[in-house]
């Protein structure tokens, strides 16, 4: 068994404005940098392998909380939201012509216009997961986390998720020959003195 600890990147200006980021490379905002500079990985994780999405908001989060550069892999890049990237989710939801819907009603195969479905994201994540040979901290995006946690819990993107993804917490997934299992409690990052 190995463990993969998933950590969502820090806030960006687009997060705070309710804009869909997807693959757009939006950097961390100043408040996120200040906050992440005071946090560190819990005691049993600092020596683990460190991976992140190649997008700067994930790479910089990894550097700040781990104190070292992560390895990156395109498989960990956020889901492609296609034509919706850069737009405000609330505005899309109000527009009956956008076909925008809450993620909990997508199923595995719904695809944003010119984007990527959860199933397509799962297809690119499985080889990366299967290649892990040691405990790994992975700094990534909420879409990537949702797909991996769905695989670990049996959620099918067809109802409210059986988990909540919060920032500054590790969501630990055990990987065995029988599949993925989510540990029941998320692990908080450790606060350090500035």
Low-confidence ranges of the chain (pLDDT < 50): none
- Do residues 141 and 9 touch, judged by C-beta distance below 8 A? yes
- pTM: predicted TM-score of the whole model, two decimal places: 0.96
Q: Token pair for residue 116?
A: 């990527």
Q: How many domains does the chain have?
A: 1
Q: How many residues does the chain have?
A: 194
Six token digits for residue 80 = 């492609």
Which pairs from 30-36 meet CB under 8 Å and 24+ separation?
32/61, 33/60, 33/64, 35/10, 35/168, 36/10, 36/60, 36/61, 36/64, 36/65
Determine the pLDDT at residue 194: 60
Q: What is the pLDDT of residues 21-55, one digit of tens each?
A: 999 999 999 999 999 999 999 988 988 999 999 99
| DSSP label at residue 103 | G
Identify the domain containing residue 74 by its residue range.
2-191
What does pLDDT average to over the chain? 96
**What is the separation, in whole angstroms, between the first and last Cα of the chain?**
36
Partner residues linked to 7 by β-bridges: 139
**Domain CATH for 128:** 3.40.50.1240
List of residues 6+ apart from 155 with CB closer than 8 A: 149, 161, 162, 163
- How many whole angstroms separate alpha carbon 80 and alpha carbon 122? 12
If you search the block for the tokens 């599949």, which residue do you land on?
179
């Amino acid at each position: 068994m190995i463990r993969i600890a998933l950590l969502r990147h820090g806030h960006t200006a687009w997060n705070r404005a309710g804009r869909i980021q997807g693959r757009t490379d939006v950097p961390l905002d100043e408040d996120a940098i200040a906050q992440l500079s005071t946090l560190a990985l819990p005691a049993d994780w600092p020596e683990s392998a460190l991976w992140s999405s190649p997008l700067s908001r994930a790479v910089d989060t990894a550097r700040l909380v781990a104190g070292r550069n992560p390895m990156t892999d395109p498989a960990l890049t956020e889901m492609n939201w296609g034509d919706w990237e850069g737009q405000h989710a609330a505005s899309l939801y109000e527009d009956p012509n956008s076909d925008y819907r809450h993620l909990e009603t997508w199923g595995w195969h719904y695809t944003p216009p010119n984007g990527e479905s959860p199933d397509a994201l799962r297809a690119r994540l499985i080889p990366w997961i299967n290649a892990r040979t040691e405990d790994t901290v992975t700094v990534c995006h909420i879409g990537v986390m949702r797909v991996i946690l769905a695989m670990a819990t049996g959620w099918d993107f067809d109802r409210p998720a059986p988990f909540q993804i919060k920032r500054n917490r590790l969501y630990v997934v055990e990987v065995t020959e029988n599949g993925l299992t989510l540990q029941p409690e998320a692990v908080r990052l450790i606060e350090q003195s500035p």
